[in-house]
Amino acid sequence: MLVLKVGGNEIDDASFLDGFARAVAGMSETPVIVHGGGKEIADLQVKFGLTPRFVEGLRVTDEASLAIAEMVLSGRVNKRIVAALIQAGVDAIGLSGVDRGLVRVEKMQHPGGDLGRVGRVVSVRGEVLCDFVERRIAPVVSPISLGAEGAYNVNADSVACAIGSAVNADAVVFVTNVAGVMQSDQIIPALTAAEAEKLIKSQVIRGGMIPKVRAALDAIKSGACAARITNLEGLANGGGTIVMRDA
């Protein structure tokens, strides 16, 4: 089984979303899809007069911000993806981590301060997703998840990694606007975790690629057999960079 993680910034691009839907339609197996929210959450916060706050780079989610995150992630963005997939011929259903108690979380603690309604994943009902996939229905999962006090905002990469572990995924694929990890203008086809860390340290992997590679490393640490970083072309033809566990 494959878990596809697509970022909010990519989803903001209508042509990217159409291409993503066509690529999924052309796949031989039905994937689980996890998505982020892009700039829409921050834009809506500003429209409602809210000032985004951060603790050491992590976004604070107060009650008002959580309401906006739910509207954007579980509403507008989730249904936009589902609609594009169905238009492309993919049978798809939109879910959040709250539905059926799919993703359970606890409040994330941070030594730098209170992050509010931000959760850390503690369990995933993988059988819920496997049931859809067995029926050739692609689940599209918003990272809003369920904690003891109700809904929590959760990092979409973390949700994708946890789902990958729960369904014993062959790979978690991070679909971006870059072809893969590059070195000397060439795609690196495969990396072990140790090799990836070495390339980060030597600054071959730098800038915006670092969080993508970190997310891939988290996926294999969480239990996925492998992780892949690729673009739409690579999703269609199996290209990109595979990040694997150390031998």
Three-class HEC string of 99-154: HHHCEEEEECCCCCCCCECEEEEEEECHHHHHHHHHCCCEEEEECCEEECCEEEEC
At 128, the pLDDT band (50, 70, 90 cuts) reads very high
pLDDT at 90: 98
Token representation of residue 88: 């492309």
Handedness of CA 176, 177, 182, 187 (dihedral sign): positive
Judge whether residue 58 has pLDDT over 80: no
Q: How far is CA 137 from the centre of its chain?
A: 19
What's the CA gap between 216 and 84, in Å, rounded?
26
Cβ atoms of 105 and 149 within 8 Å: the answer is no
Structure tokens, 103? 């993703």
**Token pair 């879910």: residue:** 95
What integer is the mean pLDDT of 4-32?
92
Tell me how far apart the alpha carbons of residues 183 and 175 are, in angstroms, rounded to a whole number: 19
Q: CA-CA distance, 134 to 14, in Å (whole number)?
A: 29
Greatest Cα pair distance in the chain: 51
What pLDDT is attached to residue 211?
A: 87
227 contacts: CB under 8 Å, gap ≥ 6: 164, 171, 172, 173, 174, 215, 216, 217, 219, 220, 242, 243
What would the mean pLDDT of 205-227 be, rounded to a whole number?
Answer: 89
| Confidence at residue 69, expressed as pLDDT on a 0 to 100 scale | 93
Angle between helical axes of 14-25 and 78-87 (0-180°, round to 10)? 50
pLDDT band at 222 (very low <50, low <70, confident <90, very high): confident
For residue 182, give the H/E element and its range.
strand 182-183
Quick check: 244 and 190 in contact, CB under 8 A?
Answer: yes
| SS3 state at 28 | coil
Question: What does the domain layout of the chain look like in residue ranges?
Answer: 14-156, 170-247
Query: Which residue type sits at 206?
Result: R
- Please tell me the class of the 14-156 domain: alpha beta
**What value does the mean pLDDT take over residues 45-60?**
84
How do residues 163-215 score in pLDDT, each as one tens digit? 999 999 999 999 998 999 999 889 999 999 999 999 999 999 988 899 889 99
Percentages (nearest 5) of helix, strand, coil residues in the chain: 40, 25, 35
What's the pLDDT band for 108 if we cut at 50, 70, 90?
very high
Mean pLDDT on 129-154: 97
Q: What is the pTM for the complete model shown? A: 0.93
